Amino acid sequence: MMKRREFLGTSLTALAWTQFPSIAWSLKTQHQWLLVGRSNRSLAGASLDRAGTPVPSILEVYDHRFQLLQTVQIPFIAHSWAQNRKSPHLAYGFSKWGNEAGIVDLKARRFTALLEREPHKRFFGHGLALADGRMLLSMRNDQTKKAELVFYKDLKPTGTIELGASYAHELRFAPQDSNLVVAAAGNREKSGQIAWVDVREKKIVREMNSGFQLPAHFRFLGADDQKILVLGIANKPAIEIIEGKTAHYLESEAPFTAQKGNRPESLNAVLDPQNSKIAWVAVYGGSVYLKVDTTAKKIVETVASPGARHAFGSDGRMYLGRISETLADAHARLQTWNSGWKPLDPPAEIGNSSHVDGIQPVS
């Protein structure tokens, strides 16, 4: 019979792997590879309502010390990446609001193929790897105007879960249940939602309205799915903390510089390694970082930072990344925390993708 300590250890190991392909939120994740993208940042006409023209880009793969390991040319801009759990050398990339998603073979160092799709369905930027080797992708059916989660086996769709909302974006497994997926879903006609979806039953089992009309991303703040930091697009830099059945929507009252053509979007977040109740949130389009006390549910500081974009953890440290707005192919300049935010020494510049995705190294 397995002892309780052994059971917990096994469970936590499985949990870490379940969450591993997601953006590097956990500072305890060690020695992962980092997948980022470099492009001209043009969506070429893509929007919530329609796909744009594909724009070629480059996947850059870094080790945990930000040494560039490989680059792979791909025929579209990937918003985020997920690693296949049965074939870890395969990384799936997903376009944002686009018609393209595809696979990179990290062993062969090449792009292999685009995923197949029905003509009226578009990829909405995020996906998860299931234990059996399938992928679960966020998509939108433009014909029915409904959000969907679509199962993929290799290149082909094999099943659908209808969500009902117009725009589903980021997906995450619930921390204690790999059969429960949480999704951020926006809607232009009403409040956005956070939806809990049972993958086996293929249905929504719980929904909660968000203060964001377009909630896009979120992070779990504990060992269950009852406390969530929600990120999204608003008129001011803002975050939301869901605790049980209560939502606390918080806007920064500090001055900020709006980026032309972009409303402030709280895009990425990382926990402070010196104080786990503190999260740092990058607000793209608002040119600030928010320092959030997740226990007090309060924005305690708003730090001006032009081009604020990245906030992630890697190898026990947290990093912020800013993009220069003067270069079409700008890279994010990284800073790390060591009793204050400081530029990396030696300097490191990563790609200008929306997210930095941590994956298990591939031999």
Domain boundaries, the chain: 18-359
Residues 25-52 have a mean pLDDT of 83
Task: Give the model's confidence band at 25: pLDDT under 50 very low, under 70 low, under 90 confident, else very high.
Answer: low
- Residue with the bigger pLDDT between 104 and 12: it is 104
In 52-89, beta strands by DSSP E: 57-62, 68-74, 80-83
Q: Could you tell me which residues come within 8 angstroms of residue 45 by beta carbon, excluding any fewer than 6 positions away?
A: 52, 53
Report whether pLDDT(270) > 80: yes
pLDDT of residue 351: 83
Task: Give the model's confidence band at 29: pLDDT under 50 very low, under 70 low, under 90 confident, else very high.
Answer: low
pLDDT digits (tens, 9 = 90+) for 109-166: 999 999 999 999 999 999 999 999 999 999 999 999 999 999 999 999 999 999 998 8
Residues 31-47 have a mean pLDDT of 87
Report whether pLDDT(3) > 50: no
Enter the tokens of residue 182: 């949480």
The residues pairing with 68 across neighbouring beta strands, listed in sequence order, are: 62
Least confident segment among 22-31, 52-61, 67-76, 304-313: 22-31
Residues 325-337 have a mean pLDDT of 70
Mean pLDDT, the chain, rounded, equals 89
How many C-beta atoms surround the C-beta of residue 151 within 10 A? Answer: 18
- Residue with the bigger pLDDT between 134 and 332: it is 134
Task: Give the model's confidence band at 39: pLDDT under 50 very low, under 70 low, under 90 confident, else very high.
Answer: confident
pLDDT of residue 10: 34
- For residue 331, the 8-state DSSP code is P
pLDDT of residue 325: 61
Residues 208-221 have a mean pLDDT of 96
Enter the tokens of residue 101: 């998603």
How many C-beta atoms surround the C-beta of residue 69 within 10 A? Answer: 14
Report whether pLDDT(274) > 90: no
- Residue with the bigger pLDDT between 281 and 22: it is 281
pLDDT of residue 259: 78
DSSP string, 218-259: EEE-SSSSSEEEEEEE-SSSEEEEEETTEEEEEE--S---PB
Residue among 202, 203, 234, 199 nearest 217 (CA): 234
Report whether pLDDT(5) > 70: no
Report domain 18-359's class. mainly beta
Cα→Cα distances 338→27, 281, 317, 341, Å: 14, 17, 9, 6
Report whether pLDDT(333) > 80: yes
Residue among 361, 355, 298 nearest 332 (CA): 355
Least confident segment among 12-21, 213-222, 354-363: 12-21
Q: Could you tell me which residues come within 8 angstroms of residue 53 by beta carbon, excluding any fewer than 6 positions away?
A: 44, 45
Report whether pLDDT(360) > 80: yes
pLDDT of residue 323: 86
Report whether pLDDT(282) > 60: yes
pLDDT digits (tens, 9 = 90+) for 81-95: 999 999 999 999 999
pLDDT of residue 349: 85
